[in-house]
Amino acid sequence: MNLLWLQSAGCGGCTMSLLCAEDPNVLDLLDSAGIRLLWHPALSQETGAEVRALLERIEAGEVALDILCVEGAVLRGPNGTGRFQMLAGTGRSNLDWVQSLAEKAGHVVAVGSCAAFGGVSSAGDNLTDAVGLQYEGKHAGGVLSSDFRGRSGLPVVNVAGCPTHPGWVTETLLMLAAGTLGPEGLDALSRPLFFTETLAHHACPKNEFYEYKASAMKLSQQGCLMEHLGCVGTQAAADCNIRTWNGEGSCTRAGYPCINCTAPEFEEPRHAFTETPKFAGIPVGLPTDMPKAWFMALASLSKAATPPRISANATADRILVPPRPKAPKS
């Protein structure tokens, strides 16, 4: 299968993350799966006229395009022309190239939340009119229409994340190459279910503190980050704490709240990322599927039953009181 990777408006962080794929590395993995990387702007040797010729041959149907990966949001400005971002030497906007090549592709993959939904590139006033491939924030329809389908019949596959996990990208590509990713394998936002059918909350190392609602007051502390410090891991569809980064890391493992970066419009929470908005002292963003009355009852009982060890450790920057085995019965 032939894969073409275009980088649009973004920071390039998803490519940086992809290069962290190990055992095997991403190039060996693609090769072993029979995926030929036609061109990637940061990884390929070809430049200038060679790339222009390749794009023209793909557009003319002389080179088959099985997978088109786009990283970064696509700029529609000014006034829908896309000329804020031109593909050098072609005289055409990146918007024009993406729309044209998508029509030739068997599969179209949005790599990262910018390509999927607009992401950070669309934050604020969005003067460049940055948008996702098939979504504009939460709304269907981006630079490609909401009813767009690749030759395979799939919509744009949104491998969201900021940046996206290398395993999410490689597993998606392997599944597409093997023909095992169908519509039933995508969620309502066209994200692969293999990483969105769990929550970032699952396997979080702070779960014991969460269970007792023993909360940290500052980022440097050990306790749960939900009550005061903005963590929305209980609402975030991702397997970050199960499929850890580089074998050991995640946001919450590093002591930073989950900001739900796989979701559309995560970049505009309307409050600081490390702040939990509350109404009458109750967090506004409750865990997925948790009715407010249940949460209040559970929180009250949990706080009342919190062991002293957990209370002491929650507001400390290190474990002060380790767990001790029960004394043997006499």
Extract the annotated binding site for [4Fe-4S] cluster. 11, 14, 114, 162, 201, 204, 224, 231
Q: What angle do CA 194, 176, 93 make, to 5 degrees?
A: 105
Instruction: Report the C-alpha dihedral over residues 104, 152, 39, 177, rounded to 10 degrees.
Output: -160
DSSP string, 176-205: HHHT---GGGB-TTS-BHHHHSSBTTTT-T
Long-range contact set of residues 299-303: C-beta below 8 Å, sequence gap at least 24? 299/213, 302/211, 302/212, 302/213, 303/212, 303/213, 303/214
Binding site listing for [3Fe-4S] cluster: 240, 258, 261
Q: By the 8 A CB rule, do 159 and 110 touch? A: yes
**C-alpha–C-alpha distance, residues 129 and 45, integer Å:** 31
**C-alpha–C-alpha distance, residues 106 and 1, integer Å:** 10
SS3 state of residue 86: strand
DSSP H/E element including 102:
helix 94-102
Closest Cα partner for 56 from 87, 19, 13? 87
**C-alpha–C-alpha distance, residues 102 and 151, integer Å:** 9
User: For the chain, first and last CA: distance in Å?
Assistant: 69
What's the burial of 3, exposed, middle or buried (CB within 10 Å: 0-12/13-18/19+)?
A: buried
Q: By the 8 A CB rule, do 236 and 263 touch? A: yes
**C-alpha–C-alpha distance, residues 165 and 162, integer Å:** 8
Tokens representing 192? 């692969």
Binding site listing: 11, 14, 114, 162, 201, 204, 224, 231, 240, 258, 261
